[in-house]
């Protein structure tokens, strides 16, 4: 799927070739480009950012990359955790001709965006984070944490068929992610189902989980470091999110020197898709602040 307002191409990073979506409209000079990072599971750039190329691409360049193991880059070997993903995204941005951008990330992509801001301050001018990962020290409790880690440690011979089986129950997955599934565009639902049921569906997210799950705690908890992120940051988090706790965004926004949190009522984990008009208004206001 290619969202309205986008054109698909590829960008080569070393031996990897990633699918890139890029806004198709002409753009005036002086506005920061916006780079979009999708989430995990059966996500890809066209799903998470279905509305973004129309909402933001009229007056600025918009880019999105399918990460290795996802979407149009599903045949590229996954790189693992959020640090490696962040470094790869930074390379892809520069290979696309940009050296200063705003970065938006949802869920796993928010984890990647946070790492990019920490690791490449010259590149990242601001952050938009939708229910970002990387902001919890432990899953619900230590027992759940250990069980998740034990599952992630299973050999691929067992884990890949189990993942494929779980991905067949895509309807339940959608209901867990969103507060009101009927708000999702039909094209998004169809693409999500296709991604979940693809032969390598979920492989990139599996490798991410293997990299971030520890036996007693998460290895990607960035709360102790977020105060080092000084660029303007907008958190956009659904009040009914059952996947990523709102508490992480709330605490990170409190610790960061220039952060704002918008809690979106009647929205779950995909707040940018469940409340697209509100998201576009908030994000455009934030981006125009960065432009000045």
Model confidence pLDDT, tens digit, residues 181-232:
889 999 999 999 888 888 777 789 999 999 999 999 999 999 999 999 999 9
Q: Is residue 256 part of a domain?
A: yes
Model confidence pLDDT, tens digit, residues 34-60:
999 999 988 999 999 999 999 999 889
Which residues have CB under 8 Å from 281's CB, separation 6+? none
Pairing of strands 62-65, 101-106: unpaired
Q: Is residue 235 part of a domain?
A: yes
Q: Is residue 91 part of a domain?
A: yes
Q: Is residue 1 part of a domain?
A: no
**Count of structural domains within the chain:** 1
Between CA 263 and CA 131 the distance in angstroms is 10
Q: Is residue 221 part of a domain?
A: yes
Note whether 273 and 189 are within 8 A (CB).
no
CATH number at residue 104: 3.40.50.1820
Structural domain containing residue 121? 6-291
Q: Is residue 233 part of a domain?
A: yes
Between CA 67 and CA 72 the distance in angstroms is 8
Model confidence pLDDT, tens digit, residues 156-174:
888 878 777 666 777 777 8
Q: Is residue 180 part of a domain?
A: yes
């Amino acid at each position: 799927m290619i969202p309205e307002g986008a054109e698909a191409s590829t960008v080569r990073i070393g031996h990897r070739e990633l699918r890139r979506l890029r806004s198709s409209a002409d753009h005036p000079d002086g506005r920061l480009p916006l780079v979009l990072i999708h989430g995990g599971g059966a996500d890809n750039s066209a799903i998470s950012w279905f509305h973004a190329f129309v909402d933001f691409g009229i007056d600025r360049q918009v880019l999105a990359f399918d990460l290795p193991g996802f979407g149009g880059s599903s045949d590229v070997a996954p790189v693992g955790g959020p640090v490696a993903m962040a470094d790869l995204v930074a390379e892809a941005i520069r290979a696309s001709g940009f050296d200063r951008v705003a970065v938006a990330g949802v869920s796993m992509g928010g984890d990647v965006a946070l790492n990019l801001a920490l690791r490449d301050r010259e590149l990242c001018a601001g952050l938009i984070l939708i229910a970002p990962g990387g902001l919890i020290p432990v899953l619900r409790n230590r027992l759940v944490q250990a069980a998740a880690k034990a599952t992630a440690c299973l050999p691929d011979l067992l884990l890949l068929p189990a993942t494929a089986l779980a991905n067949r129950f895509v309807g339940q997955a959608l209901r867990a992610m969103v507060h009101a599934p009927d708000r999702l565009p039909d094209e998004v639902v169809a693409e999500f189902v296709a991604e979940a049921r693809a032969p390598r569906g979920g492989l990139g997210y599996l490798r991410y989980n293997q990299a971030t799950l520890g036996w007693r705690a998460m290895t990607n908890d960035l709360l102790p470091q977020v105060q080092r992120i000084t660029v303007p940051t907008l958190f956009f988090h659904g009040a009914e999110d059952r996947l990523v706790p709102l508490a992480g965004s709330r605490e990170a926004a409190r610790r960061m020197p220039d952060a704002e949190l918008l809690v979106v009522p009647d929205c779950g984990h995909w707040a940018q898709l469940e409340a697209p008009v509100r998201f576009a208004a908030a994000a455009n206001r934030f981006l125009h602040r960065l432009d000045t």
